[in-house]
């Protein structure tokens, strides 16, 4: 019996996972990993935490859970896989099923034959053609070498000011890492907001928080030049002419699938720039599969192909491809819903499914959303704020997406929401969910369920409401409604919007209606810290004949603009 030859190009995440799964499917196959870099199975998502000093042992980034370095010896001994480091795949001869390779540093080439080939070539950091980008002090945080460089920056403590170009996941994580190293940071983002997977007002809440740390955020502007002296970075020049002095710049404006090898041998590349694969993760060549950051996959809600360069999906895809290269096309990879999360200092920001802006672009025209702040645990257990936003299709009630930001446990709620979205849950399906409840873990009604309750109220027309953005627009255009803060005086003294609001605590509202506008058609917007009391006030006023009593969604906790206190 001649054994099958499986060749995997790429040794970061999806590649080794594919190889390991293939091995478990077939103990006799010849399995080879071709890896350009010197390391395998690098935990690249961990780089920001190594740079930030969450841990100091670099080896943990390339080790198995039991502390064994995942090198060629490990792969051979533990898995019977030939893992070739510092080996570049130069080209693919699909007709003769072989990959032309070269050892880095040598000119000689050699061929590796395959029966099935798996491309796990990953993605590269986008390097924009900005003058000065080659200056010393300009880097990315994509490779282990980048991480080493930035860790050294941290340990040497010479850099005082840094700029992070790009406010996506990696940019924000890098910001945290460098700030923890005592460096003064400015994030510069071309878009009007950080983290484009969030809607604007959610991103703004996070931005407001980040600014409370030693980190500045500039949105809607971009770097047009890296300025230097003697080959060393001294600052960045912005589009609006401003200049920010800094000794370090980390460029994190995104990644681009590394598809050169595939393209050159005629394998189809999709319109997103990722390699096209079918549900078996097979490319247009039946003998070639592709997995990980280099492919495009279906978005389960829109049906459109998207790039989703995330380590968790890479591993799942590797498990699928590893089976199919051995057993034939037997298992499918369904696609994803672009669930994402990041930690920024003491806050978390996460999202699953579609944001409101994404839904609009994807053609969902009749959606309804609500922002709902709450606590992750009871106050007496040290509960922390989380602000959730839930989006649903108005006709079907189907949940299209959930976002969350705040210092509380956002991760659990996004995980729960991710399953609900994938299951096709409607808002109604979520209303009475039986989640694990005990005070160390959640309030009696979990914030994700409360959010569903509020969204249902809104969908049923029980909650005439305005979002903070809508309220701000009315205030700015002079059609200012009567703003009614129904909290207690103590709360008002501690924290308030300062937008000409009137304070009448909910408990006194029944006795103080005379302080409201005489015109019962006047727009009155009620709110409190999270607008639960605001909701009760609006309901009471409506019953008292105020025809235009509304609640401001999310209250002060969801107000994305500057406030007086």
Site for its own copies in 54-73 (CB under 8 A): 54-55, 57, 60-61, 65-66, 68, 73
Of residues 366-425, those binding its own copies (CB under 8 A):
375, 378-381, 409, 411-412, 414-416, 418-420, 422-425
- The total of other beta-carbon atoms located within 10 Å of residue 224's CB is 14
Cα separation, 31 vs 15, in Å, equals 11
Cα separation, 470 vs 559, in Å, equals 11
Q: Are 116 and 287 in contact (CB under 8 A)?
A: yes
Q: To the nearest whole angstrom, how small is the minimum distance from the Cβ of residue 558 to its own copies?
A: 16
Q: To the nearest whole angstrom, how small is the minimum distance from the Cβ of residue 24 to its own copies?
A: 5
The residue from 151, 458, 529, 550 that contacts its own copies (CB under 8 A) is: 529
Instruction: Pick between residue 73 and residue 232 the one whose CB is nearest to its own copies.
Output: 73
Residue 538-557 contact track with its own copies, rule CB under 8 A, x = bound? -xx-xxx-------------
The residue from 149, 280, 289, 535 that contacts its own copies (CB under 8 A) is: 535
Q: To the nearest whole angstrom, how small is the minimum distance from the Cβ of residue 227 to its own copies?
A: 33
Cα separation, 510 vs 512, in Å, equals 6
Q: Are 101 and 109 in contact (CB under 8 A)?
A: yes
Instruction: Pick between residue 35 and residue 338 the one whose CB is nearest to its own copies.
Output: 338
Instruction: Pick between residue 57 and residue 477 the one whose CB is nearest to its own copies.
Output: 57
Q: To the nearest whole angstrom, how small is the minimum distance from the Cβ of residue 563 to its own copies?
A: 18
The residue from 173, 207, 296, 393 that contacts its own copies (CB under 8 A) is: 173
Q: Are 125 and 165 in contact (CB under 8 A)?
A: no
SS3 475: helix
Of residues 4-43, those binding its own copies (CB under 8 A):
13, 23-24, 27-28, 43
Q: Are 331 and 320 in contact (CB under 8 A)?
A: yes
Q: Are 417 and 399 in contact (CB under 8 A)?
A: yes
Is 45 considered catalytic here? yes
Residue 431-470 contact track with its own copies, rule CB under 8 A, x = bound? xxxxxxxxxxxx-xxx--x---x--------x--------
Instruction: Pick between residue 47 and residue 559 the one whose CB is nearest to its own copies.
Output: 47
Of residues 285-344, those binding its own copies (CB under 8 A):
300, 310-316, 319-320, 333-334, 336-343
31-39, 288-296, 468-476, 528-536 -> range binding its own copies (CB under 8 A) = 528-536
Reduced 3-state DSSP string for 242-301? CEEECCEEEECCCEEECCHHHHHCCCCECCCCCECCCCCCECCCCCEEECHHHEEEEECC
Instruction: Pick between residue 168 and residue 235 the one whose CB is nearest to its own copies.
Output: 168
Q: To the nearest whole angstrom, how small is the minimum distance from the Cβ of residue 267 to its own copies?
A: 23
Instruction: Pick between residue 286 and residue 334 the one whose CB is nearest to its own copies.
Output: 334
Residues near 190 by Cβ (< 8 Å), separated by ≥ 6?
Answer: 166, 220, 221, 222, 253
Q: To the nearest whole angstrom, how small is the minimum distance from the Cβ of residue 26 to its own copies?
A: 8
Q: To the nearest whole angstrom, how small is the minimum distance from the Cβ of residue 540 to its own copies?
A: 6
Q: To the nearest whole angstrom, how small is the minimum distance from the Cβ of residue 148 to its own copies?
A: 15
Q: Are 322 and 4 in contact (CB under 8 A)?
A: no
Asked if 214 interacts with its own copies (CB under 8 A), we say no
Residue 131-170 contact track with its own copies, rule CB under 8 A, x = bound? --------------------------------------x-
Q: To the nearest whole angstrom, how small is the minimum distance from the Cβ of residue 235 to its own copies?
A: 31
- The total of other beta-carbon atoms located within 10 Å of residue 395's CB is 11
Q: Are 291 and 173 in contact (CB under 8 A)?
A: no
Cα separation, 387 vs 559, in Å, equals 11
Q: To the nearest whole angstrom, how small is the minimum distance from the Cβ of residue 357 to its own copies?
A: 19
Of residues 348-367, those binding its own copies (CB under 8 A):
348, 350, 352
What are the strands, taking DSSP E only, across 520-560?
524-527, 549-552
Residue 236: which H helix or E strand, with range?
A: strand 232-238
Q: Are 170 and 141 in contact (CB under 8 A)?
A: yes
How do strand 255-257 and strand 123-125 relate by DSSP bridges?
antiparallel
Instruction: Pick between residue 55 and residue 110 the one whose CB is nearest to its own copies.
Output: 55
User: Which tokens go with 81?
Assistant: 């896989």
Instruction: Pick between residue 133 and residue 381 the one whose CB is nearest to its own copies.
Output: 381
- Of 159, 165, 198, 195, whose CA–CA distance to 179 is shortest? 159
Instruction: Pick between residue 26 and residue 184 the one whose CB is nearest to its own copies.
Output: 26
179-187, 354-362, 500-508, 519-527 -> range binding its own copies (CB under 8 A) = 500-508
The residue from 296, 487, 497, 534 that contacts its own copies (CB under 8 A) is: 487
Percentages helix, strand, coil for the chain (3-state, rounded to 5) are 30, 25, 40
The residue from 429, 464, 472, 499 that contacts its own copies (CB under 8 A) is: 429
The footprint of its own copies on this chain (CB under 8 A) covers a number of residues equal to: 102
How do strand 549-552 and strand 524-527 relate by DSSP bridges?
parallel
- The total of other beta-carbon atoms located within 10 Å of residue 303's CB is 9
Annotated active-site residue in 45, 246, 294, 372: 45
- The total of other beta-carbon atoms located within 10 Å of residue 328's CB is 9
Instruction: Pick between residue 79 and residue 97 the one whose CB is nearest to its own copies.
Output: 79
Cα separation, 275 vs 261, in Å, equals 10
The residue from 36, 70, 79, 204 that contacts its own copies (CB under 8 A) is: 79
The residues assigned a catalytic role are 45
């Amino acid at each position: 019996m001649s054994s099958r030859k499986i060749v995997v190009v790429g040794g970061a995440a999806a590649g080794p996972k594919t190889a390991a799964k293939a091995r478990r499917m077939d103990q006799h196959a010849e399995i080879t990993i071709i890896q350009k870099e010197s390391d395998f199975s690098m935990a690249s998502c961990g780089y920001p935490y190594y740079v930030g000093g969450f841990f100091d042992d670099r080896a943990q980034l390339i080790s198995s859970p039991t502390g064994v370095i995942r090198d060629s010896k490990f792969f051979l001994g533990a898995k019977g896989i030939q893992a070739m480091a510092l080996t570049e795949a130069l080209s693919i001869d699909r007709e003769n099923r072989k990959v032309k390779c070269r050892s880095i540093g040598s000119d000689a080439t050699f061929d590796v034959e395959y029966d099935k080939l798996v491309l796990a070539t990953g993605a590269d950091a986008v390097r924009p053609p900005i003058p000065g980008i080659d200056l010393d002090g300009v880097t990315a945080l994509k490779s282990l070498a980048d991480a080493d460089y930035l860790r050294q920056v941290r340990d040497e403590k010479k850099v005082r000011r840094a700029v992070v170009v790009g406010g996506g996941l990696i940019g924000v994580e890098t910001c945290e890492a460098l700030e923890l190293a005592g460096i003064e940071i400015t994030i510069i983002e071309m878009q009007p907001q950080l983290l484009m997977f969030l809607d604007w007002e959610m991103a703004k809440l996070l931005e407001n928080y980040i600014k409370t740390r030693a980190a500045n955020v500039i949105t809607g502007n971009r770097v047009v030049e890296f300025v230097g002296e003697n080959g060393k970075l001294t600052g960045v020049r912005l589009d609006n002419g401003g200049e920010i002095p800094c000794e370090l710049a980390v460029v994190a404006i995104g990644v681009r699938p590394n598809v050169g090898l595939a393209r050159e041998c005629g394998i189809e590349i999709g319109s997103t720039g990722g390699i096209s694969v079918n549900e078996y993760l097979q490319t247009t060549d039946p003998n070639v599969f592709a997995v990980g950051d280099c492919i495009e996959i279906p978005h389960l809600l829109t049906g459109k192909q998207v790039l989703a360069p995330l380590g968790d999906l890479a591993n799942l895809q590797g498990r699928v491809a590893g089976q199919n290269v051995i057993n034939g096309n037997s298992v499918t990879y369904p696609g994803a819903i672009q669930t994402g999360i990041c930690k920024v200092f003491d806050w978390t920001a996460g999202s699953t499914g579609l944001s409101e802006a994404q839904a609009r672009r994807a053609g969902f025209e009749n959606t309804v959303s609500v922002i709902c702040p709450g606590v992750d645990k009871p106050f007496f257990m040290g509960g922390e704020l989380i602000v959730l936003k839930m989006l649903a299709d108005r006709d079907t009630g189907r949940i299209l997406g959930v976002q969350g930001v705040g210092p509380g446990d956002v991760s659990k709620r996004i995980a729960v929401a991710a399953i609900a979205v994938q299951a096709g849950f409607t808002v109604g399906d979520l209303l009475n969910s039986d989640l694990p409840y005990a005070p160390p873990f959640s309030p009696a009604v979990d914030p994700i369920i409360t959010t569903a309750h509020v969204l249902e109220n809104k969908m049923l027309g029980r909650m005439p409401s305005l979002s903070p953005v809508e309220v701000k627009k009315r205030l700015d255009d002079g059609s200012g409604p009567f703003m009614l803060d129904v909290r207690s005086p103590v709360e008002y003294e501690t924290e308030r919007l300062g937008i000409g609001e009137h304070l009448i605590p909910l408990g006194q509202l029944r006795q103080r209606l005379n302080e409201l506008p005489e015109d019962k058609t006047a727009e009155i917007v009620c709110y409190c810290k999270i607008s639960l009391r605001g909701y009760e006030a609006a309901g009471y006023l409506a019953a008292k004949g105020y025809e235009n009593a509304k609640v401001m969604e999310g209250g002060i906790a969801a107000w994305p603009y500057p406030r007086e206190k």
